[in-house]
Every structure is written in C-alpha cells, then in structure tokens.
Amino acid sequence: MSQFRLRDLLIDRELFESIRTAALQEEGWDVEKQDEVKRFERNVLQRMRKKRPVKKYKKLGVKKSDLVEIIQLADISSLELFQGPSNLELAKRHSEWCNHCGKCCTQSSPIFIHRDEVKAITTLNPPLKDEIIPNQQYPEHYQFRLDQPCKFHDAQEKRCRIYDTRPQVCQNYPLMLIGSEGREHHIINLRPDCHYAIRLVLEKSMILFDEAVKRKSSGSY
Ligand code: SF4
Ligand code: SF4
C-alpha cells in the first residue's frame, strides 16, 4: 500500500506530475530558474510552518513533506479548480501584499511590451519612442532599451515615473499572462525575493491545505 500523502486528496499523483512538468516546460525553466523556484518554495514553507504547524495535525498523519507538496500544487494550479478565486482575483484582492521593494523594476529583463500597446504608450508619452525596441525572440513583442534597472524606476521615491502608461506586464506583476489567444491565464511569477508572490502562494497553500484536511477529517478518504 502506498504511503499517505495529503496532496493526493486534492489531485491525482500522476496528473499533478504531468501538470508540473508541463508548467516547467512552458516557462522554459532551466536549471537556474528551477533553483530559484526551490528558494521560493523554501520561503513559502518557512511561513507555512507557522501558519499550519504539523504538530497540530499529527493525528491525521500530516508531515512536513505534505506542506512542501501542497506548496508545489499552489505554485502551479489555480484555486478555481477547487471552487476558489483565480490568481488574478486573489492578487487584486490583496495588493497590500506588495511591499513596494522595487525589485521587479530593477531586476527584471526584458520588460516586454506587446506590439498592440506600443502606439498607446508612445502617443501618451512621445519621448518613449526612442526607449522602445523590438524584442529579438518574440516578434509580437517590444521591450525597453534599458532595463535592470528599468530607466523609469525612481529609486528615491520608490515609484514608476510612467505609472499611468506603464506596460501591461508591469500592471500584472507578479502575475504573468500566458497561453494562446482565448486560452490565456494568469500564473504567479515564483520569484524568491517578491513578497507579493510569496504571500499569494502562501494564501493558496493554506486554502488547499485546509481543504485537504477537511476531506481527510470527514473520513471520505
Ligand atoms: S511586486 Fe514584488 S518585487 Fe515588485 S515591488 Fe511588489 S513585492 Fe517588490
Ligand atoms: S515601466 Fe515602471 S512599473 Fe514597469 S518596470 Fe519600469 S519602473 Fe517598473
């Protein structure tokens, strides 16, 4: 008989593995990115252990590894699968989780601008014409000529100098819109130094954990 794992009460083990593998490939997560994800998950786990101490759930057989596995599920799956809010709804509801550290503006590269946005951005802000160049890899995208740090980040004031006309990718952060037309969805950028992203995954992890514990306690599994 296989060992009890809390996450199995939420999703089939093989299905989870295939979704995670697909997510990793979709994002082109190379070794460096995978290492970043591990650091991200450690940061979430640190907080999760305080919010949901395993000791309290010992009778149900919950272990630290169950917390890790629930976090891995929260990384890649939307709560909509469990009748919960989407990543976008959750992020909008909790904008206070952004601590305005500015790391997304100083460390991201490239900062994508979709071709449909370029006209609107440069019409409202003509001097930006010289600052936007085509992205070599994705023909439908442009990018800022200078990034890391983004030229428009005001480090002293901790604000964006073109806030009202900033690209969609900045408005979405730490979410990223992926998928083909008609099947787009928001995923969380798992950056270990982004407090907003950590809190989003922590929140999702707690909701998923509570749901799994409820199912276990109800004895239906
Ligand atoms: S979105 Fe994340 S990285 Fe960007 S300012 Fe907020 S907390 Fe910092
Ligand atoms: S355009 Fe503004 S929000 Fe976007 S990366 Fe630059 S400073 Fe940050």
Ligand whose nearest atom lies closest to the CA of 101 = 1
140 pLDDT above the threshold of 70:
yes
Residue ID of nearest Cα to ligand 1 atom 8: 101
Residue 4 CA to chain centroid, in angstroms? 28
Go through 103-119 and write b for each residue having 16 or more CB atoms within 10 A of its CB, e for each that does not: ebbeebebbbbeeebbe
* Per-residue confidence band for 29, with pLDDT thresholds at 50, 70 and 90: low
112: CA distance to ligand 2 center in Å?
11
Determine what percent of the chain is predicted with pLDDT higher than 90: 77
Q: What is the pTM of this model?
A: 0.92
Residue 31 vs residue 10, higher pLDDT: 10
Q: Whose CA is nearest to atom 5 of ligand 2?
A: 105
pLDDT bracket for residue 4 (50, 70, 90): confident
How confident is the model at residue 2, as a pLDDT?
58
Q: Which atom of ligand 2 is nearest to the CA of 173?
A: 3
Ligand number nearest CA of 100 is 1
Q: What is the pLDDT of residue 1?
A: 47
**In the chain, which ranges are E strands?**
112-114, 132-134, 141-144, 153-154, 159-160, 175-178, 185-188
* Ligand lying closest to the C-alpha of residue 170: 2
Q: What is the mean pLDDT of the chain?
A: 91
CB of 97 closer than 6 angstroms to any ligand 1 atom: no
Q: Whose CA is nearest to atom 2 of ligand 1?
A: 194
102 CA distance to ligand 1 middle (Å): 6
Mean pLDDT (whole number) for 1-6: 73
pLDDT in tens, 100-139: 999 999 999 999 999 999 998 999 888 888 999 999 999 9
pLDDT tens for 33-66 read 788 999 999 999 999 999 999 999 999 999 999 9
